[in-house]
Amino acid sequence: MIKLRLYRAIDDPDSCHKFIIGHTHVLENIGVTKLSSANNEWMFNPNVYVIIVEDMDDGRVLGGARVHIATKDHRLPIESATNYLDPKVVDVINSHIPEGTGEICGLWNSREVAGLGIGAVFLTRAAVTISTQLGLKSLFALCAPYTVSLAQNLGYEIETAVGNNGTFYYPKLDLVATFMILNDVATLSGASTEEFDAIMQLRANPITERIENYRKREVKLQYHLVLEKFESIDSAS
């Protein structure tokens, strides 16, 4: 069985190291050897939360994603990725900090679970699920072309005020990334019925087992989306 487990980065350095190794391998496989937003400082940031995908039989890490909370002292990775291309990115993010904002980033899955929707669907869904736990009202994401429509199913919108109508050449000149924002993490007013129902069920039952379906393939997932301890973040700090 595959488990999606939530933890705060600074509370589990061993899992963070495994996350970094797996993510690095995935990036190298697509020819990305240096990513401006992919450094290891997040391990020591108390405002970073990780959802890690683990094989429950042997403990291997098969994927993961991070949710970063934005504060004045801890900026989001999406800023370092894009603000040199368009400084307006900083203003857009700053306007959301007082009410609580963050970013889903560092999302990856290994080849062993490719085609099961682990990264594109279930990790992203889990990250949106836990964001209300973290006191967030909005979420940013930098999406590859094939994930834009999936993000829109969750209620994300393209932030056309930045870049080229919301797009940037990133992480390489031959790759396009789209700057997106989910403005209502709690209510998900723009989400599809399927995503809305799935996320609300996970929020009501964050520790559960589910048979998930993706493109006519089934996968049994165990979710553990509750923090053992959580200190509220003062978004104005």
Tell me whether residue 11 is in a domain.
Answer: yes
DSSP 128: H
pLDDT in tens, 216-228: 889 999 999 998 7
pLDDT in tens, 100-158: 999 999 999 888 888 889 988 999 999 999 999 999 999 999 999 989 999 999 999 99
Tell me whether residue 67 is in a domain.
Answer: yes
Structural domain total, the chain: 1
Dihedral angle of Cα 224, 1, 46, 121, to the nearest 10 degrees: -90
Buried/exposed code over 12-43 (b: 16+ C-beta within 10 A; e: otherwise): beebbebbbebbbebbeeeeeeebebbeeebb
CATH number of residue 198's parent domain: 3.40.630
pLDDT in tens, 47-102: 999 999 999 998 899 999 999 999 988 889 999 889 999 999 999 999 999 999 99
Tell me whether residue 107 is in a domain.
Answer: yes
Tell me whether residue 70 is in a domain.
Answer: yes
Domain extent, residue 69, equals 2-130+193-224
Inter-CA distances, 212 with 114, 116, 117, Å? 14, 9, 9
Tell me whether residue 48 is in a domain.
Answer: yes
**Quick one: pLDDT at residue 104?**
96
pTM of the model: 0.90
Tell me whether residue 159 is in a domain.
Answer: no
Q: Is the pLDDT of residue 179 over 60?
A: yes
The answer to whether residues 207 and 224 touch, using CB atoms and an 8 Å cutoff, is: yes
**Quick one: pLDDT at residue 35?**
53
pLDDT in tens, 50-65: 999 999 998 899 999 9
Q: Would strands 101-109 and 138-143 be described as parallel, antiparallel, or unpaired?
A: parallel
Tell me whether residue 37 is in a domain.
Answer: yes
Q: Is the pLDDT of residue 236 over 60?
A: no
Tell me whether residue 213 is in a domain.
Answer: yes
The answer to whether residues 97 and 71 touch, using CB atoms and an 8 Å cutoff, is: yes
Q: What is the DSSP string of 20-53?
A: HHHHHHHHHHTT----TT--GGGGG-TTEEEEEE
